[in-house]
Every structure is written in structure tokens, then in C-alpha cells.
Amino acid sequence: IDTNIQQDMEKLQNSFPGFRFKYRLIKRIGEGTFSTVYKAEDLQYDTYDNSWDLERGDDKWTPPPLKSFSSHDGHQLQRRRKPKYVAIKKIYVTSSPTRILNELELLHELRGCPNVCPLITAFRATDQVVAILPYFRHADFREYFRKMTIPDMAIYLRSLFSALASVHEQKIIHRDIKPTNFLYDPESRRGVLVDFGLAEREGTEWKPCACSKTRKIRAPVPPRAGPAGYPKQDSRPSRRANRAGTRGFRAPEVLFKCTEQTTKIDIWSVGVILLTILSRRFPFFNSADDVEAIIEISTIFGQRKMKEAAKNHGCNFETTIPTIGTHGFTFERIILWSTCRSDTGDKLTEQEKLAVEFLGMCLQLEPEKRLTAKQALKTRFLRLGMD
């Protein structure tokens, strides 16, 4: 292992009294925006409760044989059990205490939700907070998404939507749905949703947005002065709205700074994941900022629908970019293009059509037109994922 990582692991073990007797750090498994995550063995785990042993996917349980092993410091230990692995999420000390508390509280509240990674415990030593989660074996999205068949996609999404159905039922928005926050093991075909670092309750910082006024009759928004086009004019109101999330996965209403965001923003992000898998392109959207992200979405949806969506949230959408047409393109065409089938005259298969139809119900510009997670689980497409 890299000496820097080794040093960080040493430091972590020394920052909590008794840490080294509880956990044996194995390796660093993730370095996110807000934390570093390590894989560790839980040394005090010797009960026969394997309810958290998601990674093995065992149906039947037999007592494990006696096994000797050495702890990180070379202590010889012998126990009758199979090792239990945990993920130790070391939250950066620069994160605000409210943010950390928010993440831990929401995780605690969501314990027991299917396909949501539970929180085992958490520790704090001065400004350092670590969260202990069951370790979940998973593969890198880039390694499997190109090989996924339509039923594979349905199984993957069934698992993700089951998590979202229970999260959304509690009126919690995850806000950062993307492949690295949904740990999926293609072998066992199980997935868990992680990373509630940006999650929030629906209605937090609620302020009325144009979209809540009578949804049919809307007053036209007076255009702001200035030339149309990118990047000089940004007609979005200079209001504050939660924009937390990851570029490429932000829903249009987030980009339009809607102040009444709902759990539907997560549905859009799942749609982006499905679009990525179907088109075999990752990342599908690759914008540097929100205005660019709006342009990318407009290329697909076209000016007419974008103007309408912008207006709903009190924004004006004007552009002179020639590649943004009036009507945009269908997802079917986009997928045929990106999988190099538009010249061959190939059509989508029946199963692909089912997936594309489903995609269209997730990637709706208007949040209220998108499926809810619960509705998604009832669709024909996601039923393909039922064994």
C-alpha cells in the first residue's frame, strides 16, 4: 500500500482510543468529495448475528470454523467466526457539524429500509467523525455497465428504486443519486444506496417558486435585458436554491433554481443512470457548470419544451446555439446513435423499447410528470427484474 495511505491509516487508528482493538484497517476503498472510506475488519464481532453480512449473500448459515488471524499490530487472535467487514467513513474535518449531524441522523432514521446501507455506529474525537457501516462488496460501475442486458438493468434499477421508495416515503431527498453512491455487486445482483451527505428533508428552505402557482395558467416572465445566448446572459433569477448534487445528474428544476424541490429530483438522476447504461456512455452528460448542463439537456429536449420548463420556475430560456433544435430528439434516436446503430437501420428490440419508454417517464422535464419510485416499481420494465 501507498505510504501516504498507510500513514493516514495509522493516524486514524491513533485518533480514537481503543480503535485498534475494535477494527483492523485493511485498505482505502474510496475517496469521495466529503470523506475517505476504508475497509476494515470488525475485531469485536463474534456474535453469530450475520444479518449484516450482505456481501456474502448466504442463504444458509453454518458455524464458521476456528480461525486464527493477526490484528493490524500483530496480535494473534483466534475466534470461531467468519470475519465481518465494515466500511469506515472518515468524514473530512472541514465538513460543517450540521452537515455531519444531518447525514448521521438521516441514516439513523432510514435504518431498516431495504437496499439502504445501515449505520452501525459513529464516533467522534475532537473534530474527527467516523461512521461505521457494514462493508458492501461492489464493482466499479465502469466495469459492468456496458455488459448489462435489459433484464440486468431492470434488476439493478429495481434495487435502486426499492431504496428510493422507502427514502422518499419518509420525505427525504437523497440529492446525490449517481453510480458511485449506489454500490452494486453484479455477481449477487444486490445493491445498496449510500452517501446521505447531501440528503435533506423535502421542504427544507422552502420558498414559493413560480412552479407552485396554478400549474396551468402562468403569467409570462418578462425577459431580462441583454443578448440571448451563452454564456453572457444567465436569465435565471438570482435567488438561492439548493443546488447540491453532482454535475451531470442535476434535475432541470435544480438547474433552474426551483425553491420547491421534491424527491422527484432523485428520479431524474436515476434516469441519467439508465440513459448512461442504454447509451453505453459514461459520463453521458459532461458539463462544467449549470448553464452548460442546461444546454446539454436542451439538445435532447429541444427549445420548445425547455422554454416551457424554464418558465415554470420563473426563468427564461433563450439561446442562439444552432445545435439546439426546436423539438429535440427522441431517446430512441439518441440511443441508436450512441450505440452506432443509426446507419445500419437497426431498430430497438422489444425489451429495449420497454426500457426506453421507462426512461422517458424518469427523464421528464416537469417533476410532477416523472414517475414516483413506488410507481416505477410497478412498471412492466422493472417487473422484468423480478425473479
Catalytic residue numbers, as ranges: 176
CA dist., res. 253 & res. 147, Å (int)? 32
Of 106-114, 156-164, 180-188, 233-241, which segment contacts Mg ion by CB under 5 A?
180-188
CA dist., res. 377 & res. 64, Å (int)? 37
> Residue 62 has which C-alpha cell?
453454518
Q: Which residue type is seen at 246? A: T
Q: How many CB atoms lie within 10 A of CB 378?
A: 10
Nearest to 144, CA basis, from 135, 134, 156, 132 = 156
Least Å from the CB of residue 35 to ligand ADP: 4
Exposed / middle / buried, residue 222 (Cβ in 10 Å: 0-12, 13-18, 19+): exposed
> Exactly one of 12, 13, 23, 35 binds ligand ADP (CB under 6 A); which one?
35
Near ligand ADP in 174-193, by CB under 6 A: 180-181, 183
Assess contact for 224 and 318: CB atoms under 8 A: no
CA dist., res. 23 & res. 21, Å (int)? 6
Shortest-Cβ-distance residue relative to ligand ADP: 32
Closest to ligand ADP by CB, 135 vs 249, is 135
CA torsion 108-114-117-118 (nearest 10°) is 40
CA dist., res. 88 & res. 25, Å (int)? 9
> Exactly one of 19, 136, 301, 358 binds ligand ADP (CB under 6 A); which one?
136
Near ligand ADP in 88-107, by CB under 6 A: 89
Least Å from the CB of residue 147 to Mg ion: 23
What angle do helix axes 350-362 and 150-169 make, rounded to 10 degrees?
20
Least Å from the CB of residue 333 to ligand ADP: 33
Of 119-127, 132-140, 203-211, 378-386, which segment contacts ligand ADP by CB under 6 A?
132-140
Does position 87 bind ligand ADP by CB under 6 A?
yes
* H helix intervals, the chain: 3-15, 19-22, 97-109, 141-144, 150-169, 252-255, 264-279, 290-312, 331-338, 350-362, 373-377, 380-383
Least Å from the CB of residue 133 to Mg ion: 12
Of 19-27, 29-37, 148-156, 335-343, which segment contacts ligand ADP by CB under 6 A?
29-37
Of 129-137, 153-161, 239-247, 314-322, which segment contacts ligand ADP by CB under 6 A?
129-137
Distances in Å between the Cα of 162 and the Cα atoms of 197, 202, 271, 360 are 20, 19, 15, 19
Q: Which does 173 bind (CB under 5 to 8 A by kind): Mg ion, ligand ADP, none?
A: none
Q: Which does 263 bind (CB under 5 to 8 A by kind): Mg ion, ligand ADP, none?
A: none
> Residue 355 has which C-alpha cell?
426500457
CA torsion sign for 23, 36, 283, 247 is positive
Q: Which residue type is seen at 55? A: E
> Exactly one of 41, 42, 195, 266 binds ligand ADP (CB under 6 A); which one?
195
Least Å from the CB of residue 26 to ligand ADP: 11
Q: Which does 265 bind (CB under 5 to 8 A by kind): Mg ion, ligand ADP, none?
A: none
> Residue 263 has which C-alpha cell?
424527491
> Exactly one of 13, 166, 181, 262 binds Mg ion (CB under 5 A); which one?
181
Please count the residues of this chain forming the interface with ligand ADP, following the rule CB under 6 A: 20
Does position 282 bind ligand ADP by CB under 6 A?
no
> Exactly one of 135, 145, 184, 381 binds ligand ADP (CB under 6 A); which one?
135
Closest to Mg ion by CB, 32 vs 325, is 32
Does position 302 bind Mg ion by CB under 5 A?
no
Binding site for Mg ion (CB under 5 A): 32, 181, 195
Binding site for ligand ADP (CB under 6 A): 29-30, 32-35, 37, 87, 89, 117, 133-136, 180-181, 183, 194-195, 197
